[in-house]
Amino acid sequence: MKPLIGTELKRFLRNYKRDNKPQHDLVALLQSVEYPANVGSIFRVADGAGASELVLTGITPTPPHPTIDKVGRFKSLRVPWRYEQDPVQAISNLKADGYHVVAVELTDTAVPYHTFAYPQKTCLVVGHEDHGVTKATLAACDTAVFLPMYGKGRSLNVHVALSIVLYHILHSGA
């Protein structure tokens, strides 16, 4: 076994993408994700997962930003994104475009992320690092999913949680 580099790596990834086309149209909405490092990480994950768009709302910092650019390896130049001040209005617009809106949040009705049947057009909503998704934003979402925690912590970093759910959706079938 040897690591792939250069042309071999490009060929491997191109062939994998060709033979394994995603079955979902995925969007992520960042509701006041405050820390630029998390926003940069989410741009990088969104690129890797082939997300069709990121919607940045509230106090979420926007590119160009030195930390977003560095952590995200300039994926903000590749991943389509837009800023909307009001997350509830952004969700309304996404619903009008046919997206089912799923909060990644601990709520009284949330189901484990791996048990939910994600529609073909899904928008995942993640919230502020300390406060999570607001009540108003949750009220606009169609459902909520959560990541089970088996240790002492009650949650994962926002970009890690989003990554897990995005990749689960990509590989759970249509």
Asked if 87 contacts 137 with a C-beta cutoff of 8 angstroms, the reply is yes
**Across-strand partners of 124?**
28, 102
Give the chain's length: 174
pLDDT band of 165, cuts 50, 70, 90: very high
Asked if omega into 61 is within 30° of 0 (cis), the reply is no
**Short-list 59, 62, 146, 164, CA closest to 105:** 146
d(CA 96, CA 45) in angstroms, rounded, equals 25
Q: Residue 128 belongs to what H/E stretch?
A: none
Specify whether the backbone of 106 is left (phi greater than 0), alpha (psi in -120 to 50) or beta.
beta
Give, as one character, the DSSP assignment of residue 30.
E
> Is residue 45 scored above 90 in pLDDT?
yes
Structure tokens at 81: 């994104």
> For residue 174, is pLDDT > 60?
no
**CATH number for the 20-170 domain, one of 3.40.50.10490, 1.10.4030.10, 3.40.1280.10, 3.40.630.10?**
3.40.1280.10
Please give the pLDDT value at position 173.
65
Beta partners for 56? 30, 83
Domain boundaries, the chain: 20-170
Instruction: Give the per-residue pLDDT at 47.
Output: 98
Name the helix (H) or strand (E) containing 161.
helix 158-170
What does the pLDDT look like over 70-94, one tens digit per residue? 999 999 999 999 999 999 999 999 9
Q: Which residue has the higher pLDDT, 173 or 140?
A: 140
